[in-house]
Amino acid sequence: MLIIKGRVFPVLTIRPHTFETKTITPARREFDSYSELEKFVRYSIDPIVIPGVTTHFGFDWMGNIGHSLWDALYPAYVALIRFPPRHVRPFRILAALRQCSGCHDEEIVSRFAGVGLLKQYVLNDMSVGNWFVFDELVMGCG
């Protein structure tokens, strides 16, 4: 998270996976002024923008479509419902999943989103030397 010093901003923690208690705290980078933040974004990092709404969740049961739908997609969708009307519009899935050559879960689940599926391990590989900015990112389970 990029913030300006002196602004009151709560410490955020996210529980990204349905049946885990592990949380993630986003890293923060503070700037002395808005103009410094703007220079950093415009000229230093030149981010790649991922447009629209993206929801993040983990696939802990690759190969079992029932678990993928009800224990992964459904809780993430319920999280989207908390920010109407995003749940009725097409969205993208950012999925924390492992490579599975014989699994069809990701193909099936991506159809529910409308905009498709972005694999987190692919994004991680692309992130070396690159910054990504999501228009809207919903993480956690409903």
**For the segment 91-141, what is each residue's pLDDT rounded down to a tens digit?**
999 988 877 777 777 788 888 888 888 988 889 899 888 899 899 998 866
- Residue by residue, DSSP assigns 95-138 as EE----TT--HHHHHHHHHEEEEEEHHHHHHHTTT--EEEEEEE
pTM: 0.78
Q: Which of 96, 98, 110 is nearest to 63 (CA)?
A: 98
* Interior angle at CA 54, CA 112 and CA 135, nearest 5: 145
Length of the chain: 142
Pairing assessment for the beta strands 2-4 and 48-58 based on DSSP bridges? unpaired
